[in-house]
Structures are given as C-alpha cells and as structure tokens.
Amino acid sequence: MRILLLLPFVGLLWVPFYNFTEPQLFGFPFFYWYQLAWVPISSLLIWLVYRSQPHDDADNEARR
C-alpha cells in the first residue's frame, strides 16, 4: 500500500506530462488544475495508506 504514496511524486515531478494550456477547466489552464487536482488525491492516498497500517492502542502500551 505504501507504493501508492509514490503516485503524487510521479504525477507531479514529470512536468512535460502536464505542461499544456488545454483543456481548460473553469478558465484554469490544464497546467494549474492538474496540480490542484493532486491535493485531494494525495490526501485520499495518504488516508488509505494510513488506514491500511496496523496501529497499537496507546492504552495497551501504557498497561504493559
């Protein structure tokens, strides 16, 4: 699951992939809205990876 965290890096660091003005979305060139779209996508990916990892309860650690 942690490999999902590489998707934003690959998607955003390869600038020639999205260095275009068309198609526009609400007047924003593709260059800008593509980058802005990665903000919620990255948050969702981080949440998915976080939820997939096992966590120890703080209460259980204090009792040991």
pLDDT tens digit sequence for 3-12: 999 999 999 9
Domain containing 24 equals 2-53
Domain total in the chain: 1
Provide the pLDDT confidence category of residue 58 given band limits of 50, 70 and 90: low
Say if 62 falls within a structural domain: no
Higher pLDDT, 36 or 1: 36
Say if 63 falls within a structural domain: no
Say if 18 falls within a structural domain: yes
**Whole-angstrom Cα distance, residue 37 to residue 22?**
15
**Whole-angstrom Cα distance, residue 58 to residue 48?**
21
**Whole-angstrom Cα distance, residue 62 to residue 15?**
48
Say if 39 falls within a structural domain: yes
